[in-house]
Amino acid sequence: MSEQALHNKKIVLGVTGSIAAYKSADLVRRLREKGADVRVVMTKAACEFITPLTLQTLSGHPVAIELLDADQEAAMGHIKLARWADWILIAPATADTLARLASGRADDLLTALCSASESPLAIAPAMNNKMWQNEATQNNIRHLRSQSAQILGPASGDQACGEQGEGRLLEPNDIVEALARLVVPAQLQGKHVVITAGPTYEPIDPVRFIGNRSSGKMGFAMAVAAAEAGADVTLISGPVNLPTPTRVSRIDIETAQQMHDEVMAHVQGCDLFIACAAVADFRPQQFERNKIKKTKQEQLQLILTPTLDIVSAVTDGDKRPFVVGFAAETNAVEAYAKDKLKRKKLDMIAANQVGDGVGFAVNENELQVFWEAGSRILPMAPKKQLARDLMTLIIEQYNAKNTT
């Protein structure tokens, strides 16, 4: 975990109606000690357990409570807060809050804010152990996790109701540490990062192409993580069905040649190049101007010719940026990845197993990352979080290279 991870991060802290709400006072203090800017949003039930004045004094900002309050909306309304937040942290989160978030309710300020925000969400539940184990609560947790929400805790032990078990809010210090492990440090301000994503389509005739199973999810998640680190991001993407992330400048291409040309046009003077795209290694030598007709012949032979290796063109250039490649392998993942690291003169490579329903198109993945002097395994996680973990590692190695 980077000590600096929360420095300058804008955090909306949602406090809901649990006896553990008193701990949010300490939580605000500890987040601010780490350099975070904290705005507190309380549910009405939370105000029964701790006063808004306490959290206002500790955060240094007015506490927002009402959705339909003209004065509060005029100050920093829910849409502004939704855009402002780098992260939304809900601590404590009651069983009712989990249910409301999981079902997409938006009838109070906190849930409206969450539904209007693209910011990542971390939730620290707090409730009686039977409520935590309740099937409905567990279903809600699974659903929220599938939407990339990060669940922090809960802890086990004595409960306010006199029972023992799982359901206690994590201690404020543990929440801050867990959040710091998830956040990408804001250390790429003023840096330009170029990222490739998605597949390439290599046309055979006007209606057919050779493509691959890349959905672009990992490359787009890398672009979001780079933007969260404060970088100016150029995302060069093959044909995918994904919205453009905020604060990211996107260029759409179709073929490997077009991706090559756009990369070479944008990579000059950039600081980091991350090649996540699944670029075709071969393309049909000839493009048929008219649709190839089905004839009585039993076979159709296509002659394929190699495409340009984009990432190698970047590492062969003058004043090359810090270059991170990916390796998609069905077997011998480590050996092939290490070979590509060397052969393509990369600074780092993130390798993943693909095929049989893993790697491509799914929402979760795991990576083995290699660089000259080390390696790290990034365990199975939603691609959105995996990209943050990878970006944090890239920043570490980039800083190490640029300070030696």
- The Cα 305–Cα 259 span in angstroms is 17
- Rounded to a whole number of angstroms, the minimum distance from the CB of residue 214 to ligand PMT is 4
Task: Count CB neighbours of 187 within 10 A.
Answer: 20
Helices (H), 149-271: 172-182, 217-228, 256-266
Angle at 368 between CA 364 and CA 372, to 5 degrees: 150
Give dist(CA 227, CA 305) in Å, integer: 36
* Binds ligand PMT by CB under 6 A, chosen from 110, 126, 195, 278: 278
Judge whether 270 counts as a catalytic residue: no
How many CB atoms are located within 10 Å of the residue 192 CB? Answer: 19
Q: Does residue number 340 form part of the binding site for ligand PMT (CB under 6 A)?
A: yes
Distance CA(65)–CA(52), nearest Å, equals 9
Q: Which of 39, 100, 192, 217 lies at the binding interface for ligand PMT (CB under 6 A)?
A: 217
Residue-wise burial string across 60-73, b where 16 or more C-beta atoms lie within 10 A, e elsewhere: eeebbbebeeeebb
Contact with ligand PMT (CB under 6 A) among 310, 381, 390, 394: 310
**Identity of the residue, 134 or 375, whose beta carbon is nearer to ligand PMT in the bound complex:** 375
Asked if 195 interacts with ligand PMT (CB under 6 A), we say: no
CB of 271 to ligand PMT, least distance (A): 18
Cβ at position 5, least distance to ligand PMT in Å? 24
Q: Are strands 202-205 and 208-210 parallel, antiparallel or unpaired?
A: antiparallel
Say how many C-beta atoms besides its own lie within 10 A of residue 288's C-beta.
Answer: 15
Note the residue count of the chain: 404
Residues 362-401 touching ligand PMT, rule: CB under 6 A, are: 383
Q: Does 361 bind ligand PMT (CB under 6 A)?
A: yes
The stretch near ligand PMT (CB under 6 A) out of 93-101, 130-138, 275-283, 391-399 is 275-283
Q: Structure tokens of 71?
A: 């004065």
Interface with ligand PMT, residue 218, by CB under 6 A: yes
Give the sign of the dihedral formed by CA 247, CA 249, CA 255, CA 258. negative
Nearer to ligand PMT, 15 or 323 (CB): 323
Q: Establish if 223 lies at the interface with ligand PMT (CB under 6 A).
A: no
Residue 309 as a binder of ligand PMT (CB under 6 A): the answer is yes
User: What residue has token string 């787009």?
Assistant: 220
- Give me the DSSP letters along 201-215: -EEEETTEEE--S--
Quick one: which segment of 97-105, 166-174, 214-222, 290-298 binds ligand PMT (CB under 6 A)?
Answer: 214-222
Smallest gap from residue 365 Cβ to ligand PMT (A) = 6
> What is the closest distance, in whole angstroms, from the C-beta atom of residue 312 to ligand PMT in the complex?
7
Contact segment (CB under 6 A) with ligand PMT among 17-25, 103-111, 130-138, 215-223 equals 215-223
DSSP annotation string for 102-159: HTT--SSHHHHHHHH--S-EEEEE---HHHHHSHHHHHHHHHHHHTTPEE---EEEE-
Which span (7-15, 74-82, 271-279, 388-396) binds ligand PMT, by CB under 6 A? 271-279
**Annotated catalytic residue: which of 47, 114, 161, 270?**
161
- Tell me whether residue 55 or residue 328 sits nearer to ligand PMT (CB atom): 328
Q: What residues are labeled active site?
A: 161
Catalog residues that contact ligand PMT under the rule CB under 6 A. 196, 198, 214-219, 256, 275-279, 281, 307, 309-311, 325-328, 340, 352, 354, 359-361, 383
